[in-house]
Structure 1
Amino acid sequence: MNKILISLFLMSLLIAFTNCDNDKKTEVPFPSQISDIKTEPRVGGVLLSWDIPQDSNYFYVQTRYEKNGRTIKTNSSIFTDSVVIGGLLNKFEYVFEVQAFNEDLVGNEVLTTSAVRPIRRGKDITYQPESNVDIELTDDMIDTYTQESSEGPKKNLLDGNINSYWHTAWSSGVAPLPHWIQINFDEPTEIGGMRYTFRQNGDENGRPSQWDLQVSDDGNAWTTVWTSEENLPTSPVASTQTLLFGERENFSSQYFRLRILANPGNRTYTHLSTISIFKKGLSVVDLEEEAERNYQ
């Protein structure tokens, strides 16, 4: 009987010690605290970052914020010191709660950020050449520099006849390039490209091989907004050359200068047969407005 009692007593002690040992194994420390929460606006979102404590004694970091009346939660692992929250709108400011949790889902103190507004999404612009709009020009709308007095008046640029031509100065008032064709509108106008043809009986050395585009609000102070590639084609003589001022935009101004920067022969004169301008046909999708429509 005594042996049975002793055996039962020893078994009870063994179970008690085992339970104590299991309790020690499953005990999870209180999560350590992260610090120095920073927010950085991004396009359509926000980057949150924080400092990981040296002991890193937590299981994950949870970020929470309100969106359309719902609380959105994002969990980041112990090895992560930042998270990008996307799908946000520029018209709202967002406040984020950040909290560290241990494996038992016990959380440390909640840290709250200041309000932050995401950067507005841009526009997706697609060039549609079939939708180009030609812009009518008249002789009184253009000025030229330089201008030869004995031949090639500026009006020939607009007559549509490839057998007539415009010529910059070679007999008097000669000046080095750039030479230009200035277009004066009555009000701000958008242009996106140009077409031109070469003088049919002129030497190739005087044909434009590089252009740029300048704009002005008052016709006095000028800003260069586009420059073409160097060594543009100068043949075949009968072909129409087309240049786009940028890939996916039109430029708006009241005054424009189409400047001839270079020609193959480095001549101090240049010549053209015809010139015309157009507004680029563009398909424009406002990505921020699209995001607002799909905001969930």
Structure 2
Amino acid sequence: AQLWTDDQESSEGPIANLVDGNNGTYFHMSWSAPSPWPHYIRVDLGKKVKGVSFWYKGRNNANNDNPKRMTIFASNNAGDTPTAANAWEIGKLGSDVLPSGTAPEFTSPGFFSDEEFQYLWLQINEAYSGSNWIAMAELSIKEMTRSKYDPENEPIK
């Protein structure tokens, strides 16, 4: 219930497979009736946060249906495509940012917002395979926090 996609393949790879803890199962975007990029995976974080990091493992096959470029959005609206107010792009500097190949793994940096958000949107913009779909085995998201250290306001000892 916390996952949604705009482009689920009808014949295989349900989105629930992203969080089943099994690297042998996978989520697959539509290859039988592909539509143009971008495509989305939306995650309801279950609470409002100010920072997240995510990890994913690609499908264990030779098709290289891995994300090549993504834009990450934070929002408080589950119903509409988010705006660029809180957006981070991954892979825009070249193909060396997101991994390719068989069953690659990727851990994102921490993404932080000044405002709390409840939904994380992974907008997939391109796949290494050149197709209009991706496949992924697992996805996990962790809340990130940060603190500020101000040495000018620390007591002298």
> 1:279 is matched by which residue type in structure 2?
E
Is the 1:250–1:279 contact (alpha carbons within 8 Å) kept by the matching residues of 2?
no
Q: 1:197 aligns with which of 57, 64, 87?
A: 57
Higher helix share: 1
Structure 1 Cα separation of the partners of residues 121 and 127 of structure 2: 17
Is residue 222 from structure 1 mapped to residue 82 from structure 2 by the alignment? yes
* Corresponding residue of 2:117: 253
Q: Does 189-198 or 156-165 show the bigger shift?
A: 189-198
Is 2:48 aligned against 1:184? no
Taking structure 2 as the reference length, what is the TM-score of the superposition? Answer: 0.81
Q: Does the 8 Å contact 1:210/1:263 carry over to 2?
A: yes
- Per the TM alignment, residue 191 of structure 1 is displaced from its structure 2 partner at its CA by 3.7
Q: Secondary structure at the match of 1:260?
A: strand
Q: Offset at 1:278? A: 1.2
What is the percent sequence identity of the aligned residues? 27
CA distance in 2, matches of 1:239, 1:143: 22
CA RMSD of aligned residues (A): 2.4
- 1:228 partner amino acid: I
Is the counterpart of residue 271 in structure 1 residue 131 in structure 2? no
| 8 A Cα contact 1:213 1:245, kept in partner | no
Is the 8 Å Cα contact of residues 250 and 280 (structure 1) preserved in structure 2? no
**TM-score by structure 1 length?**
0.45
Measure, in 1, the Cα distance between the counterparts of 2:24 and 2:89.
Answer: 28
Match in the other structure for 2:30? 169
Unaligned runs of 5+ in 1: 1-139
Aligned pairs for 1:28-177 (under 5 A) are: 140-172=1-33, 174-177=34-37
From the superposition, tell whether residues 221 and 169 of structure 1 become closer, same or farther in structure 2 (CA, over 3 Å). closer
Paired residues in the alignment total 148
